[in-house]
Amino acid sequence: MLIVSDLHANLEAIRALPSGFDRLWVLGDLVNYGPNPSEAIEFVREKATVVVRGNHDHSIGFREDPRCSARFRDMAEETGRYTHSALTAEQRNYLRTLPLKATVAVEGIRLVMCHATPPDPLFEYRREESPLWLSDEVESDIDIELVGHTHIPFRRFLGRRWVVNPGSVGQPKHGRAEACYAIWQDGKITLGSAAYDVERTVEKLRRLSLPAAVFGDLAFVLRNGSAPEALPGSAP
């Protein structure tokens, strides 16, 4: 089974994912930031067995603020306008109908899936080391929490359950220009990544006629696997 999150309309990264999976789970953010939102949605609709809604899916579907950090706000706004125009009304409706959370059972193991965190499925940005994972009120029989949103892969054991973030397929921030994912096999979840044609994605973004600063920031994130430098005078 393949588990992915934060595809962000990056078709080249999507195509680099392992292809031999029997099932696909998607933890949200199919769209925005990238140049191929329609193709990303159709990939998920064709392949995925479970999908939950991310903050950018919610933003495009409902025309609402995705609540990005200050450094990514312009990127989200500019690419959001393009994304909305590139999708059909039916595709936007699909994003609206995605659930915020899903609970599934596989091989006697129960998992809860959401984009951000179980208490705040759309928006809370929570890193691996946060103590809040320990205080979450989740059902006592949950063995694994699957989350995304931070674009940084991790696995953390909390004493009675695991929290697993597969990282981002389309806009990784773990320091390498790779499409990140997780694999479930024989009752275990492992993290993986794959190189892809970053420059092809960058060239597609160039053709969208985005403001120069926004294009530069998007290209920086893709090429470096990290956020661009903070704006002068802004908080880190």
Which residue(s) pair with 163 in the sheet?
145, 156
Give me the pLDDT at residue 138, please.
Answer: 84
pLDDT value of position 107: 86
Classify domain 2-101+169-224 at the CATH topology level: Purple Acid Phosphatase; chain A, domain 2 (3.60.21)
CB burial readout 135-166, b (16+ within 10 A) else e? ebebeeebebbbbbbbbbbbebeeeebbbbbb
Per-domain boundaries in the chain: 2-101+169-224
Label residue 181 left, alpha or beta by phi (over 0 means left) and psi (-120 to 50 means alpha): beta
Q: Which residues lie closer than 8 Å to 11 by C-beta, 6 or more apart?
A: 34, 35, 36, 39, 40, 43, 201
Low-confidence stretches of the chain (pLDDT < 70) are: 230-236
The reported pTM is 0.95
Alpha helices in the chain (DSSP H): 11-15, 37-47, 55-62, 70-86, 89-97, 132-135, 198-206, 212-224
The whole-number pLDDT of residue 231 equals 47
